[in-house]
Amino acid sequence: MNKALDFYYSSIGKKVLMSVTGLFLIVFLTEHLIGNLLLFAGDEGKMYEAYGDFLVSNPVIRFIELFMFLGIFVHIIIGVILWFKNRKTRSVKYKLFRLKDNATLASRTTIISGLVIGIFLYIHLTTFFFPLRYSDEKSGAYELVVNAFSDFWYVIFYLAALFVIAYHLHHGFQSAFQTLGLRNKKYAPVLDIIAFFVWCLIPLGFAAIPIYFFFFHGSGATVIMWGF
């Protein structure tokens, strides 16, 4: 027990927790995207609904879901703790500090992008997850998606949030491997390629959903009819 506490109190220990939870959430995100691609099956959501029923009724998935929420919680809490601790290491600030010459915007703003994602997550859960899981009126998941993405501003909000997620992943993915000691000169280029898939293609895949539903099922269909 003492050893585990020592590990947590060390600077690297907390970062390892950030990395492990972050990578776990990326695995979840990948699974979430693959599942959501069923929305494009063109069968008015039959397969998508079946997939949703499977997720809700499967006890193993329900168990993993608990871990996912725990992962999100730990990632946020430790991220905020580290940010506060790091702010305290320089009581007298520089008059001039050109950090932007040396570090990417994504790496300097993970706390901000993280908080934005937190807000997005809350809205996302209240739109889809909670109504489907806890409300008595079981509205169909497919119908919910169609309705949500027929609103222009909701689609814009989604796309903006996905852009922020891409930014967060741009730094977070490779950073997790660095913290876990899994980066070296030999594998760093391979990791950079995988990182591109993660930070660019996953958010792009998710972005396709609101765009598709807005233009083909929602109010965007009128825009198409006008010859836009």
Partner 1 sequence: MNFTLKIWRQKNQKDEGRFETYEVKNISPDASFLEMLDILNNQLVLENCDPVAFDHDCREGICGSCGMMINGRAHGKGRKQATCDVRMRSFTDGETITVEPWRANPFPVIKDLIVDRSAFDRIMQAGGFISVRTGSAPDANSIPVCKDNAEEAMDAAACIGCGACVAACPNSSAMLFVAAKVSQLALLPQGQPERKERVQRMITQMDKEGFGNCSNNYACEAECPKGISVMHIARLNREFLTAKLT
CB distance 14 to 187 below 8 Å:
no
Q: Which of 2, 59, 63, 98 binds partner 1 (CB under 8 A)?
A: 98
Within 13 A of 83's CA, how many CA atoms are on the CB side?
14
**CA-to-CA distance for 121 and 118, rounded, in angstroms?**
5
> What are the angstrom distances between the C-alpha of 223 and each of 143, 146, 228?
21, 16, 6
Q: Extract the tokens encoding 186.
A: 């030999």
CB nearer to partner 1: give 144 or 191: 191
> Contact between 190 and partner 1 (CB under 8 A)?
no
Question: Is residue 10 a contact residue for partner 1 (CB under 8 A)?
Answer: yes
Give the CA distances from residue 160 to residues 185, 214, 224, in Å, rounded to whole numbers and listed in that order: 34, 15, 22
* CA separation for the pair 111, 180 (Å, rounded): 20
**Residue 112 in the binding site for partner 1 (CB under 8 A):** no
Nearer to partner 1, 18 or 207 (CB): 18
CB of residue 109 to partner 1, shortest distance in Å: 10
Distance in Å, CB of 58 to partner 1, minimum:
32
Q: Which of 27, 34, 61, 103 binds partner 1 (CB under 8 A)?
A: 103
User: What residues from 14 to 53 belong to the interface with partner 1 (CB under 8 A)?
Assistant: 14-16
Stretch that binds partner 1, among 67-75, 131-139, 154-162, 172-180 (CB under 8 A): 172-180
Amino acid (1-letter code) at residue 57: S
Q: What's the min distance (Å) between Cβ of 162 and partner 1?
A: 23
Nearer to partner 1 among residue 47 and residue 188 (C-beta): 188
Among 2, 59, 63, 93, binds partner 1 (CB under 8 A): 93
Residue in 45, 48, 110, 168 binding partner 1, rule: CB under 8 A: 110
* Structure tokens that stand for 110 in this block: 């993970």
Q: Enumerate binding residues for partner 1 (CB under 8 A).
A: 3, 7, 9-16, 82, 85-86, 88-99, 101-104, 107-108, 110, 171, 174-175, 177-185, 188
